[in-house]
Amino acid sequence: MNSSKWIWRIVSVISILAFLLLLAGFVYAIRDIQYPQAGKELAAPQTNPQEGAAAENPDAKKELKIAVIGDSLAKGTGDHSGMGFARRTVNELSASTGKKVQLLNNLGINGLTTTGLLPKLEERGTQYVLGQADIILLSIGGNDLFRGADLISKGNAGTASTAKRQELDPKDLLKGLPKASTQLKAILERIRAINPAATIVYVGLYNPFGDMQELQIPGNQAVASWNQTALETMNHYSNMTLVPTFDIFQNHLDKYLSSDHFHPNGDGYQQIAVRIVQGLD
């Protein structure tokens, strides 16, 4: 009989403990529902403040990517080293910022005009390169002005035609300006649409025939009109810069032009590269 009593007492104690344990679990569950605590997998991700700043501010990036597009100046024609202003800008920018600067691709094409560049911007490869860039360097317009006026023979880009120079009407240099300016605006808009965040640097025109009496004044007027129109267009957009080059070559054509008397030589491209980096500061 006594053993039965003890058995019942033990069973009662176990039942009471089990009830209390269930009660504690129930209370904990209610509190967890009313006052939830974030688990590790649901906790807000920890962000490195420096990484966040780099994503928002290109100046904070450790690496800069550059794409180049446009005509023979973009390609670097006339520079025997093959560097042009593209690779020289990479070197200058790396030295001035201390950052790694990568040239993604040089999409420069000899003889390219604004008319020829527009469809290039619709190519997937072109869009991919431009879309990856932090800085886009653009050179276009020289062929629109000087080839349009037949100052450059179509068989040998960059060579002035003596016969055509003697017959040149100064108005010929300006006749293609309205259409080319409209197309330049379309080019800038398209590049901006392809890459809304990149800094777009447009390399302004110079007059390669400024040392020829019959072409000095009309050439200067045409180039000044073109550069002014380009600047007015770019002023409507953010993060675009026009780099002037006219003053670099004026009165220094013998020093900075290559033997074709149209494209810069290595020293000329170096001056443009320095000017580009100054414009990016």
Q: What is the pLDDT of residue 237?
A: 86
The more confident residue out of 202 and 16 is 202
Q: What is the pLDDT of residue 254?
A: 95
Distance CA 258, CA 245 (A): 16
Rg (C-alpha) for the chain, rounded Å, is 33
Q: What is the pLDDT of residue 245?
A: 97
pLDDT band at residue 148 using 50, 70 and 90 as cut-offs? low
Q: What is the pLDDT of residue 45?
A: 39
Please, are residues 159 and 152 in contact by the beta-carbon 8 Å criterion? yes
Q: What is the pTM of this model?
A: 0.74
Whether the CA torsion 142, 148, 150, 153 is positive or negative: it is positive
Phi, psi of 42 (to 5 degrees): -105, -5
The more confident residue out of 134 and 49 is 134
Question: What are the start-end ranges of the H helices in the chain?
Answer: 2-34, 49-56, 72-75, 84-97, 114-120, 124-132, 142-146, 162-167, 177-194, 213-234, 246-249, 253-256, 266-280
Distance CA 135, CA 244 (A): 17
pLDDT of residue 164 exceeding 60: no
* Residues 6+ positions from 103 with CB-CB distance below 8 Å: 66, 67, 68, 86, 87, 90
Q: What pLDDT digit, counting tens, does each position of 77-94 carry?
A: 999 999 999 999 999 999
Mean pLDDT of 227-247: 92
Please, are residues 135 and 64 in contact by the beta-carbon 8 Å criterion? yes
pLDDT band at residue 194 using 50, 70 and 90 as cut-offs? very high
When the pLDDT of each residue in the chain is averaged and rounded to a whole number, the result is 81
CA 61 to chain centre: 14
